[in-house]
Every structure is written in structure tokens, then in C-alpha cells.
Copies of this chain bind each other. A is one copy, B any other.
Amino acid sequence: MSNEISSPFPPAVVLLSGGLDSTTVMALAREQGFAVNALSFDYGQRHRHELDLAREIARTHGLARHVVVNFDLRAFGGSALTSSMEVPKDRNLDVPDHRIPVTYVPARNTIFLSFALGWAEVLGARDIFIGVNALDYSGYPDCRPEFLHSFEAMARLATRSGVEGTPVTLHAPLVQMTKAEIIREGIRLGVDYAFTTSCYDPDGEGRPCARCDACLLRAKGFREAGVPDPLYLRFGMKP
């Protein structure tokens, strides 16, 4: 997109999936004064529809740059999001279940953050933002604070910037927030959640299934925040 060479704002790389969390993080990074370089991934996910929304979000917010990196994790498989395995529906997320669900994509956040690290180095960005969340989440190991701290430590040894004394900082501003808190924060920032998606298994038009873990967590968040989900309103569904 437009070139930011003369921008007075320091560049940051923001992982942008097109979902509720990462869109909120993008708005937070902008509020903090960063020129946002958004990074998305076309990795063979079944909910590839999210990329259309990520492009739309980047365009409507006039982000500095938006890059979509393509690779195909279906070559590895091992997840319901990248294979023919079924996405679980109607799980009771109030019952603690310490197993990692089949929607976990092996090493996905490690891969995403590694690309962010490479791009940050080329841009001269010292800040990377990721919208992971360890409260209202699906139990993925790579959404936990201890993983993020460890990735940041590794990143400082991996790159030229770390060696030369300008290491990157990994920001995960949502990590200890509930989904309802995230939604309230996004509304304060003016995020239009009608054009964000969370569903793992949407139909061809992007209509959410309302039954996968991601839909259930999103619905719980809007319920607790006391506002209707504008995505549901957009599709004429009952929020």
C-alpha cells in the first residue's frame, strides 16, 4: 500500500487475521502512535474468508502496508483447520477441559511470529503486536504468556537488530483480558466488529456457524459486554 518512508510514526508489525482480537490490537497499536504494517497469512485455513476481511480492514483504516504471506500448512495436516478433520461444534466451554482441541494448528503462532520478526527487521520496526488471549481462548499452548516471553527472548538472539542493540518487543495487549473486556476496548476505539470474523467454519459468504469454539467464545463475549454482535446483525442472524 502507500509508502510510509516520511511517516513521523514509528513502524510496528501487527498480525492481522481479520478476527475480533487482532482487529482490536490493530486499533490499539494505532492509538499508541504506531504506523501499522499489517501481516496476514493464507496458510490453507478452511476459514480463508477471514483474509477478505483483513484486506478490507487494512483498506478502510488506511494502514501503512498490508502483506499477505502464502504457504500451505495442509502439507503437514494435523489440525481440523487445515485438513478434512471435523471442526467440533456445540462444546460446553464452561466445563474445564485441559486437552488441546483439534483446531490447534501445530506451531502456528511460532510460524506467524517468525515472519513478523523478519518483516520487522527489514522495516526497522522494533515492535510486533499479536492478539492472542489466554482467558477466553481455546487452550492453545502458543497463546500463553510464557510462550510469548520465550519467543521474545529468542527473537532478540535471532536477528541483526538484537545483536546490534535494538531488540524487538512483542506486545500482546489482550493476553489477560476477557473477551468482553476486549470488545469494550474495541468499541471505545471505534472498531466496527460487523466486519471482523471469528468462525472456524463459515459458509461461502462468511456467515458464522455459531457453533464452533470461536463462535461460542465470541458470543459469550458480546453477551457479557451487553452489546449485540454487529456481525450477526449484518447477516440477519439473531445475536
**A114 touches which of B78, B111, B119, B121 (Cβ 8 Å):** B111
A229: shortest Cβ distance to chain B, in Å?
31
A106 x B159 contact (CB < 8 A): yes
A76: shortest Cβ distance to chain B, in Å?
5
Q: Chain A: how many interface residues by the 8 Å CB criterion?
A: 43
B153 x A154 contact (CB < 8 A): yes
Chain copies in the assembled complex: 2
A151 to B71, CA, bound (A): 22
Residues of B within 8 Å of A110, CB to CB, are: 114, 117-118, 154-155, 158-159
A141 x B115 contact (CB < 8 A): no
A104 to B110, CA, bound (A): 21
B144 x A122 contact (CB < 8 A): no
A108 to B72, CA, bound (A): 18
Nearest to A141 among chain B residues (CB) is B163
A interface with B by C-beta (< 8 Å): 67, 69-73, 75-78, 100, 104-111, 113-115, 117-119, 121-122, 141-142, 144, 146-147, 150-151, 153-155, 157-160, 162-163
13 extra A-B contacts, CB within 8 A, seeds A107-B114, A114-B114? A73-B118, A76-B119, A104-B160, A107-B121, A110-B118, A110-B154, A110-B155, A111-B115, A141-B157, A141-B160, A150-B158, A153-B153, A154-B154
